[in-house]
Amino acid sequence: MAENNNQVSDLRNPASNLRSLSSGRCPPNGSTSRLPVPVPITEQVWPEGTVPVVSVFCITYNHVNFIRDAIEGFLMQETTFPVEIFIHDDASTDGTAEIVKEYAEKYPKLFWTVLQTENQWSKGAPNAYFFGLMQKQRGEFIALCEGDDYWTCKEKLQKQVVILGERKGLVGCCHEVFTDNPESRARLYNRLSGEITHADMLQRNDIGTLSVMIRATALIPLSPKFCGLLLGDWPRWITATQQGAFWFDDKPMAFYRKHEGGIWSKLPQKEQYLSILDMLCRASLIIEPQFRLDSISGIARYYATLLTFSLLRSNESVFAVANSFIENSAWQKSEILLATGNILMKTAWVDNAPKNNHDLPPCSDVESEMINSMNLASKNPVLVRNILAQRVFKLAWFNKVINAKFSIDLFKKSFDYSQLTFFLTAIQCFLKSLINCISSLFNRLVFKIPIAKQISNTLVQRKCKALHKIWINSLKDKKIYLDHSVIFTGKGKMNSMFSFGSECIIDSQVCVWLSENASNTVALSLGKKAYIGRGSYIGVHDSIAIGDYTSVGAYCYIISANHLCDSRDIPISEQGFYGAPINIGNDVWIGTHVVVLPGVSIGDGAIIGAGSIVNRSIPAYEVWAGNPARFIKKRP
């Protein structure tokens, strides 16, 4: 039964002859019987006409060196339910189709294949074509993996079906993947287990296609706004998450290959970022108004990266294209530029940019510095201009920017700096930077005298203690109580990075650590009448927000960072951190000795039992407890 006239073959087993969305698909929670224990899918025997619970969907083109790994990853799966494997070869010329046909003939009841003789991708609208093929799959769930990637865990499908069976509100699930080379064990996303929502997808894509299992009912056609895009997966997840969230498992269960033949990975990074910015600007035209700030945040993130690239490489054409995209988005350009300014001014890398053009890092290094800059609070435009001026006109950057022939025009076009006052502020900041440089040189000379260095350090310490005491007293005037034994530590800027609501209390022996990588805006915020119990530890790497009337019991541990541990050759203490914001809602009760890990959101009115470890987000008005914390019941 041919899919089109130029197709060489359509190989499918007899049970798969009728593929109808109405009659051929496994019903939700499938009527198909289950095995008592997982069995390799190559050893399973099901009655003729059994409908699969999972359809594996694989597209491939010239993957002769990779396709066996992909297929073997499918065949090693052990499940309690039937699985079918669909492979579409898009007219490969290197022998890929022959390998696919070999496996299909060996396992005729598992495979059905479409082997093209004419490439469909090159005909245009590939996303619509392959979406049509996805709709023909019969499984209740669709698991995706392209022919140059492969799965590494035999329990992958079983785990994902269990998750989607238990959590009906999810539209799909995904997981961490390895990348680069199999020996390095480098993770692609470095995030903790938890939900990925529609708001998340408007800012960044942490869903690897090779890791996805999605409900067939969540597959709906893409908006015409996405037509002509090179990206197909990200818009698909944006569309799907309008119905519900994805669950992200932080255990790697697949391997993502980066190779020269990859359609996406072979693109220059600036082209990738331009494609992403184009897609996010188009997405802004179809989303609900309540996701406006999330959309602006995502657009600004990639626009800031491209703007930085333009400045560092003196490449006006990249800026011109990026600028045209944001002008066609649903949002006012001034809103996007304000968010972009917030990102740039919080990028510590800018202050230390090297002067030698040949030593400038690639744009990805700049982008990585921006990952933690997504908490974009609204600011006074004048204040934003002043702070941005301070950042951009630091001495190290000034030498590069001032020599760019188009720099002044670029600033005028990108930030609308028509006011003379802004330019004067920028020059003033530059002069201050020059004075600071001279002052720093003078201090180095003075510090060569031991007694001078000792006196200077003593004066600095006394000044810090005096300022801290003044700050504590100023909080008491606002009815904010901090016990005298509370310790503030770390390398971040303390006083200006905390926001305390009226009548909040931080009890005795609480330690607040502020990372030097913390956001330059509010890093820790406590709501009205919030309470932090004695002996607790608050570790601020990414922002931590604790809502009104929330009580945190004694000896709790709330930290928005975790150690990286991807290499056995480097001590864990030297591998750095990865982090994610923590948001704790209003009127939450957290029992004693609770640990809250990075990336967790706890909804309003939730209750967390004593001794729990919270490693996933918790909905509002639910009671959770245990290690790790699990759902106990709905609260009254």
Active site members:
563
- The residues near 502 (Cβ < 8 Å, ≥ 6 apart) are 478, 479, 480, 528, 529
Question: Of the candidates 170, 162, 153, which has an alpha carbon nearest to the alpha carbon of residue 53?
Answer: 162
Sign of torsion over alpha carbons 317, 347, 292, 227: positive
Distance (Å, rounded) from C-alpha 486 to C-alpha 223? Answer: 54
Task: Decide: 498 and 482 in contact? Cβ < 8 Å.
Answer: no
Distance (Å, rounded) from C-alpha 161 to C-alpha 155? Answer: 10
Question: Of the candidates 186, 170, 168, which has an alpha carbon nearest to the alpha carbon of residue 178?
Answer: 186
Task: Decide: 295 and 301 in contact? Cβ < 8 Å.
Answer: no
Task: Decide: 252 and 151 in contact? Cβ < 8 Å.
Answer: no
**Tokens found for residue 474:** 């100023």
Task: Decide: 543 and 569 in contact? Cβ < 8 Å.
Answer: no
Distance (Å, rounded) from C-alpha 358 to C-alpha 338? Answer: 31
Distance (Å, rounded) from C-alpha 429 to C-alpha 255? Answer: 48
Distance (Å, rounded) from C-alpha 417 to C-alpha 411? Answer: 7
Bridge partners, 559 (sequence order): 539
Question: Of the candidates 96, 86, 117, 82, which has an alpha carbon nearest to the alpha carbon of residue 19?
Answer: 86
Task: Decide: 202 and 235 in contact? Cβ < 8 Å.
Answer: no
Question: Of the candidates 175, 144, 154, which has an alpha carbon nearest to the alpha carbon of residue 75?
Answer: 154
Length of the chain (residues): 636
Indicate the SS3 state at residue 484.
Answer: coil
b/e burial code for range 473-499 (CB count within 10 A of at least 16 → b)? eebeeeebbbeeebebebebebeebbe
Task: Decide: 127 and 222 in contact? Cβ < 8 Å.
Answer: yes
C-alpha distances (whole Å) from 304 to each of 276, 366, 381, 435, 523 are: 13, 10, 17, 29, 21
C-alpha distances (whole Å) from 7 to each of 3, 32, 102, 118 are: 7, 32, 18, 7
**Tokens found for residue 48:** 């003729």
Distance (Å, rounded) from C-alpha 153 to C-alpha 159? Answer: 10
Task: Decide: 134 and 80 in contact? Cβ < 8 Å.
Answer: no
- Say what the alpha-carbon torsion angle 433, 436, 441, 446 is, to the nearest 10 degrees: 180
Distance (Å, rounded) from C-alpha 313 to C-alpha 360? Answer: 9
Distance (Å, rounded) from C-alpha 624 to C-alpha 606? Answer: 8
Burial (CB count within 10 angstroms: exposed 0-12, middle 13-18, buried 19+), residue 306:
buried
